[in-house]
Each structure stands twice: as structure tokens, then as C-alpha cells.
Amino acid sequence: MGFERVTRRRFLAAAGVAAGLAGCNAPAGEARRRSDLVNTTPDSPSVYADVYREAIDSVVLIRVFGGDGRNGQGSGFVYDQRHIVTNEHVVSNAADVRVRFTDGSWRAAEVVGTDVYSDLAVVRVSDKPTRAEPLSLVRGEVAVGQEVVAIGNPFGLSGSLSSGIVSGVDRTLPAANNFSIPDAIQTDAAVNPGNSGGPLMTLDGRVAGVINSGSGDNIGFAISAALIRRVVPALIESGAYEHAYMGVRLTDVTPLLAEANDLSNARGVYMDEIVDGGPADGVLQGSDGTEAINGIDVPVGGDVVVRMGGEPIQSQQVLSTYLALSTSPGDTIPVEVIRDGTRTTVDLTLGSRPEP
């Protein structure tokens, strides 16, 4: 079902840590120093505090009640006057969804659209609090090293903030049917179960991405604002989003693959298999055999895509990002390939990705 679950043991453990830090066993002088810090913090200049104060009323806790009796929770943020953005995996298969705002009030929410291929979803609420204003999305790209904050509800601890930097961009995350989510942001800001669906924000108060997952110490990921901008309006309008689809199984060109196929450079994307009846069937060429290189069977005979729509294609990541952010089903695009040692250009009309 994919809910963000918070076990009682984890919650009590987190609460125990907080209680220990706030306990009365510290020396009186240390207690006074902590009190002084608490009292002076609101008056101290802090860009993190500014971002938090401006955004927190627009970040919500989402509680999900499943039809099979399993419950879960996550985070979300106000997108417009009626809609909240979160992750698809937070609300998937939900029988009932409730949203809590920072004033403590709850609202019943309706799931209006989900997209498993981007892990994005939209829920609708009525009469939200006036202080819960829509958050703006980043325009353009974020930079590696840029400072960001994550706001959400890890382990059910409402309104938590963590800080870090953008550790990487243009990452790919796993999605259904062996597809991937392109253009994701990697961050070292702490994210945990319950953060999913909440905003990853720049220090000027804009949403850089929707937190998707944490994959270990100091590694978290977010769905980029660029992908949000394409997917969310369609989810609001029609409840679904159609992804462009080539109908191929591909792999990056490695040195071994380049050697086997007499390529001068290990660059581009190799078309290993063409899906029967798919958009690329009869347009692109897949492998027609293998060749042993250093005892390893390497596919040969397939097209190597080096350019699409005039854009250079150097890897699967670049190809996936181009399809996701620059094309739509029904578009016809020129595809430059190396086929049997010769460069040629073919026109490919994109289809729609199959249902998961």
C-alpha cells in the first residue's frame, strides 16, 4: 500500500529523546543557558527561521485510513486555494484522507489525482485556514551546493525542519513497471518516514521539490519543481497525467558496448530492444545478436541515440529528463542515431506510457 507508517515504538523513542533533552537533570547553570537561548532565538537573525515562519502554515500533516484497515501518514503543502500536493505513495489506495493544519484544525480531503510514474498526488480541501497560503515553485534549476530546508512531519512530529544542501541534481528514482522518475534532487537534509510529500525549499522560500524518500544517512530525494509544474495541473484538471513513451528497452553506451559495436566514443543511449507494437516499432532498431568481449556477451546491432529534438543525448538520465520535461504524447520528434556505423535521423511519434 506504500503508506508512511510510524510505529508506536519509534514514536515513543523519539518522544523519549526529546523528554531526556528537556529533563530536569541538567545543572542549574546549564538549564539557565538553555533558557536564555530559547528566549533569544526568536529575536536572532536566522534565514532558516524566516523560511520556516513564512512556510509552516502552508505545510500540512496528512493522515490516511486504508480500506484494508492499514493506516499511515505523510506531509503535503498548499499548492493553490483548494489543493494540496503530496506523494502518490502517501495516499495510494486510501479510503479516507484527513489533513491537519498548523492551527490544529482538521479537514476532510478528497484525492483528485495521482500519478505513480512521478509519485505525485493532489488532494482537495474546502475552507482551508486563511494563513495557509500557496507556496511558490522554483523557476529554473537549483544548484549543487545550494542550501535547502525540508519541512514536514517525520515520525508524526509535526512541523519539523531540517537543513542541508542540494547534493546532486538530475537523479533518477525507481517507479512502477521498471520506469524511472527523472530530474530528481538529492539532498543531505534529514528526511524520514512522515516527511514524504512535504516541501524541500530554497532559502528564498520557494519549493524546489516534493520530498519523495530517504535512502540512508545524509541521502534524501525530492521530485523536482520542473516535474511538479508539468504533472500537477493535469492531476487537478483530469485526475491523471500522460507521460511520453518510446516503447524501447535501453542502456547507456559503455566502453565494452562501444567496442562491440565499432563506436568511436562511449557516448549516447543504446536501443537494446524495441517493444512490439510500440511507438518505436519500425522506426528504431534493436539488438540483433551479441558479441563476446573479454568473455562477456555484449548486445550488438541496435541504434545508438545521440540526439533528440535537437538536444544532445549522452545518457539514459538525459534522455528520460528530455522526454519528461520537453515532450508530450503525440509529439513527433527527430531522433539522430548511429545505425550500422552511419549517422541518420528518423522521426518518432511518441505514445502514452502504459497503465501501471
Nearest to residue 59, comparing CAs of 195, 202, 224? 195
Catalytic residues: 89, 119, 196
